[in-house]
Structures are given as structure tokens and as C-alpha cells.
Amino acid sequence: MTRPAPLYIVTSPRPRMGKTLLARLLVEFFRHSRRPVVGFDLNPRDPAFAGRFPRLVWPVDIANTRGQMELFDRLIAETTSTKVVDLGYGPFEQFFAVMREIGFVQEARRRGIDPIVFFVTDQSMATVRSFGELQRRLAATLVPVHNESVSLLFSKEDFPLTRPECGMIHIPRLSAIVRGVVDRPNFSFNAYMTKQPGGPTEVHKWIAELYAEFRDFELRLLMGRLSASLGGASTPATTRGRAR
């Protein structure tokens, strides 16, 4: 039997942390792997994620019940596509409050869907507190993401791993000029990867590293599940040594 596709929630309680960039990378990674993917952009004022993938990503406003139904009912009902949610700092609190109130994680788990929260970290007290609170109150897998472009340092004591076998995600720093390239409105990571006229550039290496990071994460997740189903301890293995 095929396991239902996972659900990735990319979030941070603060603005300009690289959430949409990570959500875009995930969508393109799943498309690159030829897996069906859909996305939800929870930034109603500036749906940049939906703007990038108008046929794959829907903008949703969860401030009202109708929007909440549009999002959560669809996340639960369809299990063949991997889902990527870009959760901005605006609806951050409400999203997790609704999630808890309606028992979303429990229902998702009952249906075999594994909700994974990619939490983009930084050094602020509010972010550290927010991570700890989510970890205490949410039964989902919470994965810290260290985006070097927004925060040079990462303290693993501040962001303890929910599932050590899953490790964390590391986004290497991109120079400002190169960052301008990937931010271009029509830029596609997959399209860029197919064109290497003068050999691999910084962007090629950066994308390749991140795709490898995602593959690694999926492997660690799978190994953790296998290990759990065999009744063993969590697997510390990581193919690229990223489980910090």
C-alpha cells in the first residue's frame, strides 16, 4: 500500500526569514523528483508563493472559517500529492491555534499523513520561545531550519530536535548578487539546473546542495519510521552528516 504523501509546513514567527524561498525550493524539488505536489500560500496580503506557481499553489486566507475549511479540509482529503504550506508570520498564531482546536495533527496521523513543520530559526528570544512552545503543544514533527542568509549563528540548545533521527535543515548563505538572481520573478530552480553553459555556478552548487539536503531529510525520516516500526531506537544515521 502506498503511504500518503507528507505535508510540509514552512514557517517562522518573524518576517523576511526565507520561508517563501524554502517553500519554492521544496515545490521545485518534488517536481524535479516527478512527484505530484500542491501548495498553499497563507500570506493573503502578498501571496508571492502562489504568484510563482499559479497552477500549483493556492492563496488562502485563514482569518475566516471558510478559508480554514479551504485549507485544512484539502490537506486531509487528498493524500496523493505532497503538500507545501507557506505560513507567514501574520497568521502564524492562528494557524497553530486552529490546528490544535480541530485536532488536525491527530486526524492527519490517523490517515497516515505525517505533518512536518520546517521552522526557520533566528537568534531572537521571541523565536526561541515560539519554537519551544510549539514543540510542547504540537504533536507534529518540528524541524529547525538554519538559513545562513538571515542568521549567521545557530544554537542547537535553543532549538532541540523533536525527532533526533530527522536532524535539521541547513540553507547555505548566498551572496547578495546571486540572491538577486533567484529572486527574479520568473526564476525556476529546475530550469536553471538544466542550463550550465559555462559549467556550474554558485547557484547551481547551492541548489544541488539543498536538493541533496532534502533527499537526506527524506531518507532520515524513512529510516526513523523503519526503525520505529521495528521497535528499535531512532536511527542516528545521516548520509551526509547533517543531523546536527
Binding-site member from 8, 30, 72, 118 for other proteins (CB under 8 A): 72
**Counting contacts by CB under 8 A, is residue 186 touching other proteins?**
no
* 137 alpha carbon, distance to own chain's centre: 19
Task: State the cell numbers at 182.
Answer: 533567484
**Counting contacts by CB under 8 A, is residue 65 touching other proteins?**
yes
Is the CB of residue 37 less than 8 Å from the CB of residue 49?
no
Amino acid at 243: A
| Segment interacting with other proteins, rule: CB under 8 A, options 60-68, 84-92, 170-178, 229-237 | 60-68
**Counting contacts by CB under 8 A, is residue 68 touching other proteins?**
yes
**Counting contacts by CB under 8 A, is residue 137 touching other proteins?**
no
Binding-site member from 46, 51, 54, 69 for other proteins (CB under 8 A): 69
User: Tell me, what DSSP letter sits at residue 2?
Assistant: P
Torsion sign across C-alpha atoms 155, 131, 35, 220: positive
Q: Please choose, from the candidates 125, 136, 180, the residue with its C-alpha nearest in 3D space to the C-alpha of residue 160.
A: 136
Tell the smallest beta-carbon distance from residue 199 to other proteins (Å): 50
User: What are the beta bridge partners of residue 145?
Assistant: 120, 169
Judged by CB, which is closer to other proteins: 26, or 71? 71
Residues at the contact surface with other proteins, assessed by CB under 8 A: 65-66, 68-69, 72-73, 76-77, 98, 101-104, 106-107
